[in-house]
Chains A and B, each alone.
Chain A
Amino acid sequence: MLLSREWLNEYTPIAVSDKDYCDAMTMSGSKVEGCSRTGEGISRVVVGKVLSLLRHPDSDHMWICQVDVGGEQPLQIVTGAQNVQAGDLVPTALDSSTLPGGVCIRTGKLRGVLSEGMLCSLKELGLEQRDYPYAIEDGIFILQEPCVPGEDIKEVCRLNDSVVEFEITNNRPDCLSVRGLARESAATFHTPLTLAEPAVKGGAGNIADALRVEIADADLCPRYTARMVKNIRIAPSPAWMRRRLRASGVRPINNIVDITNYVMLEYGQPMHAFDYACLHEGKIIVRRAVEGESLQTLDGKDHALQPGMLVIADPEGPVALAGVMGGANSEITDDTTTIVFESANFSGPSIRKTAIALGMRTDASGRFEKGLDIQGTVPAVDRACELVEMLGAGEVMDGIIDVLPGEIPATTIPLDCGKINALLGTDIPRDFMVKTLETLGFGLEGDTILVPSWRGDCLREADIAEEVARFWGFDRIAPTDMRGAAVEGGFSDKEKFRRMMGLECRSMGFTEIMTYSFVSPSGFDKIRLPKDDPRRDAFTILNPLGEDTSIMRTTALPSMLSVLSTNLNRRNMAVRLYEMATVYNKQPQTPLADEHTVLTLGAYGDGADFFGLKGAVEELLRAARTPKVRFTAEKTDPSYHPGRCAAVWSGETRIGTLGQIHPQVADTYGLDAECFCAELDAAALYALRGPEAVYVPLPRFPAITRDIALLCDASLSVGELSECIRSAGTAVLKDLRLFDVYTGPGIPAGKKSVAFSLTLRSDEATLTDDHAEEAVSAVLTALRERLGAVIR
């Protein structure tokens, strides 16, 4: 909303600087987005009187003018324009003057002749012909304003207004008007407010004899008001009106159109003018469109109307798209003699739906959408008629048609100063509250507040508290510490667990990433998920920004691979990453997702390998105190290398996967390095976490180590051998470490050598060699009998 301060001052005189005005309005709730001056950029441009013209000796189109600019001597100015005559008053840019757009004029020579400035056209002053209809487009602006040589052109053309741009929130459509902002301004600056009521003389016959209005669909049109004007004389509107429209960002057209726009800006009520001659049978019907109807709007576009869209019709068909735009079939033309001013109230949601459906959001529809004052229709149409009379644009008929099928609800709210102060934490006196509310148009009867009809946003005491607080000043509310009952706050165990896991990852050199929750469905193909994989059953966004962000991820692996790929492409040579990623799985009996966290790890470069990543996973599981951890070979996960992938288990619960990314998958992500990833179900880790550690006494007796090198079938896994050793070792077997796996010379084909180091210790006494040998030989026996592994 653009507000002319010159216009505003007609209602409430505010003399402060633009900056102070803007700051104060922002702080009372009318957020200022910017402020500019009309005539910005114009300096040292004055009225000049052309005394004489002479042909330029070296040009067949230039003139040498002597121009009186109010100084002792006339200036000599060369111009190429052909519309200047001696005696004309023209805008004259002096030496070192500036014009809009950063143009600077200096004394110079034009084809050898001295020129001490420039005569200006409308365009050069940032104006156009609609602003000064008597001037011509191509030529010097010959002034018809009352003025004398030397006078500043900004004064003459009134290019000295300030225009403030407000961001008006959706709940305050009343502030999309000069009168609305005048109330806010007066309440902000405590200035007197004068809002005159329009007065119409009339006398050109009665509207009741000429027009009938019927509201067929009152749910979409709670009120329809109309007045008529006869014998209209289409002409340009006066300069003051054109200037105010221009300052408000509206192009002047002609007096009738300008009046409708002027009233919309002043009152916030959109208006429309029909050519009465085009309304069949002098009848207006407000109804929903029916199947097959169409309308050409004022912008020349044809629209097929959908049933349900609200239209203004005559008995023959639609003449306007209610609240959006008028129809071409009832447009005001130069031949129009009698017009109907429409000032109506329409249902916001209906207007919005129509405007969106037809792709034509207009200034009017934007206002109606927000829900306008049902009491605003009569004053607005009266004001339009008053302006018609003031401008001599026609003869207003007596009477007003005002169809109001329902009741107008009145809102009253009790004024309880104690409660308002309690909510705000303030001590605002009652007088201040009353004065503020009255300036804003609220009525007061004792302790009952009557909410004005244009303040549909005010329904209860909290709304009144806001009105009071806004003008008291939010900054005057003292910041306080919360009192009241102490609340036990803190992090949940789950949050603590998550933080701990993140810390573990970082301490092992993994850096945290953060990726979008919505991904491309093509990711499923890229990680080679089979067609029937349940992970393909993802939540789909019905209106995504694009295919790439169209489903909610069920696996975080594609996100990790994309990030690895980005980094590799950018030549980041060694990368270790982790993400606490939410995945979204469908679940029965609820339309909502099972949203749970997966911890993904990803690594390439700088010696990244399977066992490096496995070591990290093992450390994470130790930190998580995951019980009964075991790893099994996973040959069927399509995203991983079939020979380098492990399933991670806690007892019989599958808690994750780790391995080298399948080369075909790596290819689809453009990863030409060996990549290693792990996916751990963080929710499961949290659920399975073991009890907190308790102190175990330090060993009191020395340990004995025994190394054993075994010869076994190459197909036996280290896991199987370890399992066997652990189960056969007695209580004295405290630790078991693999230190060598060997095949090659000295080892028969199909066999391998595996060497372990066993740590043996008794908790009761120093272990004797005999006891140690006993334990080792039990282990060797078991290895031989169960697995056919023999000592080398």
Chain B
Amino acid sequence: MRELLESLRSASRQAIDQAVDMEALESLRVKYLGKKGELTAILKQMGKLSAEERPVIGQLANQIRGELEAELEDRKSALAAKMQELRLESETLDVTMPGKEIRLGKKHVNNTVLDEVLDIFVGMGFSIVEGPEIELATYDFDRLNIPANHTVREWTDTFYITPDEKVHLRCQTSPVQVRVMESMKPPIRILSPGRVYRKDEIDATHSPMFHQIEGLVIDKGVTMGDLKGTLNTLMQKIYGPDTVTRFRPHHFPFTEPSCEMDVQCFECHGRGCRVCKGEGWIEILGAGMVHPHVLEMSGIDPEVYSGFAFGVGLERLTMRRFQISDMRLLYENDVRFLNQF
């Protein structure tokens, strides 16, 4: 019997090693270890053995059973690993093929820049307010210190709604300053974006409707240095930390002192080129300290409070930022344009 067991041991070991798939392995298990398997068949003959031999052979048979089970298990894992390897191999993709397209919509490029500007100012404690576009001359002109004979009031410059010139399409966002000063008490820090209208024919750099962003700060002890600091921050955040600005004296009826802010030409860094028309600088916005008479007209004492205001053309910021050469593109809304940003 010992010989029988030994030969089963070596035969089964060889068979298991050579099994190529799970099915073959299962039939080997049945063949050797099943109820009608060879090991069981051998064990059935145990009765013929002497009492001394029986435990020895029994021990050997159990040992062989244990070995067989372990070998079957090992082989099974090996085969499973092999099969997975084959499957993965067969599942290989051409990873250079394009991804499935996901098409999100795009924000209008003007609003991309606007939202950036708003975020910057909200971070500085500004509130966002809006005012009407169809506006009273009182707010857009009179209380901004714009004299009765100023050219901006002419019918060649401003779009009028009423023949008595009391109502028109606002030509700047500055009337919001007046409305804010009427309804809020200092300290005031507001930003007011919106549409404005001027009677300019449409061309590459002009549009009868465009957007401005108005800023107003009023508090005790606000200085022109604060104006410069605030606008420098804005420019550096929009155009990058290396942006160089300069402030030139200018004239606006509702600020005193007044200035215009230029940024150094991005193309030539101030040497003068085609982009900046040889000047080395590009005009970006107008600003100034709020005129004391404007404060007075809105019931704020200029002896106690001072403030600054600025107005920047959104389209100019946008076009400069994204190197857009023609303003008409912004209002044409060709999706091939809109989707570029």
Residues of chain A touching chain B, judged by Cβ–Cβ distance below 8 Å, are: 26-29, 31, 169-172, 348-349, 352, 356, 369, 422-426, 457, 460-463, 465-466, 469-470, 474-475, 477-492, 495, 499, 502, 505-518, 539-545, 549, 552, 563, 566-567, 570, 572, 575-578, 582, 584, 591-593, 595
Contacts and interface: CB of A to CB of B under 8 A. Distances in A.
B298 to A, nearest CB: 16
Interface residues of B, number: 87
A612 to B, nearest CB: 13
A424 B224 contact: yes
B151 to A, nearest CB: 8
Interface in B121-159: 121-122, 124-129, 132-136, 148-151, 154-156, 159
B217 interface: yes
Contacts of A509: 103-105
A171 B334 CA distance: 43
Contact of B256 (A170, A465, A512): A465
B56 interface: no
A581 B166 CA distance: 25
B161 A492 contact: no
A369 B291 CA distance: 23
B334 A489 contact: no
A412 B195 CA distance: 41
A482 B230 contact: yes
Contact of B134 (A480, A481, A592): A592
Contact of B122 (A27, A481, A489, A539): A489
Interface of B: 103-108, 110-111, 115, 118, 121-122, 124-129, 132-136, 148-151, 154-156, 159-163, 166-167, 169, 187-189, 195, 197, 199, 201-202, 208-209, 217, 219-226, 228-230, 232, 246-251, 253, 256-259, 289, 291-293, 302, 306, 330-336, 338-339
B84 to A, nearest CB: 34
Most chain A CB within 10 A, of B103, B150, B162, is at B103
A31 B162 contact: no
Nearest to B158: A543
16 contacts: A171-B253, A422-B223, A462-B302, A470-B249, A482-B230, A490-B122, A507-B104, A512-B105, A513-B338, A514-B110, A518-B159, A539-B161, A541-B159, A566-B334, A576-B105, A578-B105
A475 B118 CA distance: 26
Contact of B132 (A466, A511, A593): A593
B223 to A, nearest CB: 3
Contacts, number: 244
Chain B interface helix/strand/loop/mixed: mixed
Given A31-B250, A512-B107, A487 B189 contact: yes
A478 B225 contact: yes
Contacts of A572: 334-336
A517 B224 contact: no
Contacts of A578: 105
B127 to A, nearest CB: 5
Contacts of A424: 223-225, 257
Contacts of B221: 422, 483-484
B162 A591 contact: yes
B105 A490 contact: no
Contacts of A495: 128
A487 B187 contact: yes
Given A482-B226, A482-B229, A575 B335 contact: yes
A514 to B, nearest CB: 5
B105 A508 contact: yes
Contact of A490 (B127, B187, B220, B258): B127
A480 B228 contact: yes
Nearest to B108: A512
A478 B156 CA distance: 40
Contacts of B249: 27-29, 466, 469-470, 474
A424 B220 CA distance: 13
B327 to A, nearest CB: 12
B177 to A, nearest CB: 16
